[in-house]
Structure 1
Amino acid sequence: MEEHHHLFQPLLSTTTTTSAATTTTNEDEDIKFLSSDKAISFRLLSITFIGLISIYANYEQSKGFDIIIINDIKDSLAGNRFELFYVSNDKATRILQNTSSFVENILYPDTITSTNHHKKQVRRVTLRLSSKNNQTRIVPTVDTPKCDEFVINISPSIIMGQSSNDNHAMVSAIQRGMARVWLWDGESRAPPWLVDGLVEYMSRLAGFGEVVRGFGDSSSWNDKDPRVVALHLDQCEENIKGFIRRLNQAMRQRWNDQTVVEARNLCDYYKKLYDSTAL
């Protein structure tokens, strides 16, 4: 560029030369400006892209856990119905997500803003249509192969006991399974009657069963019938807001029998208040 300029310099006036030099300088500045503008735009796009990736990652993480659907009896009538009505259209996955959200809102409504409520870690939930037929139908078994992995075993009788357009039994079973997944259990040492009662309590709140009002005898706290235990838990929560959530947190650590004694005494206290105001 410099050699080209000197070759033609004798044929051009000083003014023209100055003008040409000025024009060249301005063009260089414009190029630099455009390059700088492109660099800024590229940086902004990069930041935006990184932000979108971060948002997507947070969204994926907010889903909470991996879901696996297993059909152990694909070649059977129940297996075919399960595949058609719940697997092929992802309906089983949606039911798992919805029932999980319902239970989480009961047990951990303010986990994000409170350091006192430790949320149970759930990394993976497997819904398995088992080959074993459970005649109780609506009560699934929940296995824990690892501390943060859970397998909800659904009986074929649930599939066979409902019509193609009625999934009440399936949702009820999965609701109970997800309640069991999210409940702390005192490192597997909490009384089964209490855990079953809590599962029944949350299932009734979800609309699967009648919520009975009124107290019974305090001795029925450890009744083998989870419906009776759920009755007491319902009344305790009604009189002591957050009772179920705090009871679940108390079951996070290694189980102590004193926990349920204190809970029972507290409910007995409110039972007396309930009885006195009812007179």
Structure 2
Amino acid sequence: MEEHHHLFQPLLSTTTTTTSAAATTTNEDEDIKFLSSDKAISFRLLSIIFIGLISIYANYEQSKGFDIIIINDIKDSPAGNRFELFYLSNDKATRILQNTSSFIENVLYPDTTTSTNHPKKQVRSVTLRLSTKNNLTRIFPTVDAPKSDEFVINISPSIIMGHSSNDNHAMVSAIQRGMARVWLWDGESRAPPWLVDGLVEYMSGLAGFGEVVRGFGGSSSWDNKDPRIVAQYLDQCEKNNKGFIRRLNQAMRQRWDDRTVVEARNLCDSKTL
């Protein structure tokens, strides 16, 4: 208050001039402090906005591609409780589904997914369901398609029962097979089951879940009923002709007919379909 009082003294007064200068300096210091405080507030606001943008982007990156829905049909059963505890409460099922999907996409489609030579299958949503369907086995899920771009992977409750260290291995293996069926073209549902099963088994083998069997006999294994043997033949074709699996998958994009089998065999020895 004293400084403000001196501001009203005659301008020619030496004391007034000195005091006025001091007051001016004080005001400038206060202005600097105010500006510094204002900058600090602005910086904090920008930091909050930046962190918010990062969070939004992270959520977008996590969810882009297709919607994921997890359903537990048997919540009150022992298997349902384990599924809830080990795969739903911590979003583990979602992460497994995302990781297996990325792996399959990299196998079947080139890096440039907009390539006109390798159009990518449209997948809008994937539902992972712990189901009570009667036709389920421990490691082989079924995949339903209510719509052309919506898929439901049904897995058996037996896959998570027990307390062995292999439980998670079995879960990942089953979801891996399910996602392979999701991303594979199937000749408008007319491709032979032995070929689709063989392709699924081939990709499971690439991911480390396959099983080597005896009985592989080169091209005679092409239409073998054992998907593991078909997978070995497909693997040999891919090794002999890089890109074979991708081109075969694209050949299955159109409606399947008997000529596709001949063309697929020729594709094993040629880089063009």
Contact 2:124–2:150 (CA<8 Å) still a contact in 1?
Answer: yes
Deviation at 1:128? 1.4
Q: 1:243 to 1:52 in 2, by over 3 A?
A: farther
Q: Please give the alpha-carbon distance, in whole angstroms, between the structure 1 residues aligned to 2:26 and 2:188.
A: 74
Q: Deviations over 1:93-114 (max 9, x none)?
A: 4433443343234335634xx6
Q: 1:25 to 1:245 in 2, by over 3 A?
A: farther
Partner of 1:273: none
Which amino acid counterpart does residue 15 of structure 1 have in structure 2? Answer: T
TM-score by length of 1: 0.72
Which amino acid counterpart does residue 50 of structure 1 have in structure 2? Answer: I
**Residue identity (%):** 68
Matched, 1:166 2:166: yes
Contact 2:71–2:128 (CA<8 Å) still a contact in 1?
Answer: yes
Which amino acid counterpart does residue 16 of structure 1 have in structure 2? Answer: T
Q: Please give the alpha-carbon distance, in whole angstroms, between the structure 1 residues aligned to 2:22 and 2:248.
A: 80
Partner of 1:149: 150
Partner of 1:217: 219
Q: How does 1:60-75 map to 2 (within 5 A)?
A: 60-64=59-63, 65-75=66-76
Deviation at 1:235? 1.4
Contact 1:215–1:235 (CA<8 Å) still a contact in 2?
Answer: no
Contact 2:199–2:231 (CA<8 Å) still a contact in 1?
Answer: yes
Partner of 2:27: 28
TM-score by length of 2: 0.73
Mark the runs of 5 or more structure 1 residues left unpaired by the alignment. Answer: 271-279
When structure 1 is superposed on structure 2, of 176-185 and 114-123 the one drifting more is 114-123
Q: 1:38 to 1:193 in 2, by over 3 A?
A: farther
Deviation at 1:224? 4.3
SS in 2 for 1:152: strand
SS in 2 for 1:61: helix
Higher normalized helix content (fraction of residues): 1
Matched, 1:202 2:190: no
Contact 2:202–2:210 (CA<8 Å) still a contact in 1?
Answer: no
Which amino acid counterpart does residue 217 of structure 1 have in structure 2? Answer: S
Which amino acid counterpart does residue 141 of structure 1 have in structure 2? Answer: T
Q: 1:170 to 1:68 in 2, by over 3 A?
A: same
Q: 1:98 to 1:34 in 2, by over 3 A?
A: same
SS in 1 for 2:134: coil
Mark the runs of 5 or more structure 2 residues left unpaired by the alignment. Answer: none
Deviation at 1:151? 1.5
- How much is the aligned-residue C-alpha RMSD, in angstroms? 3.8
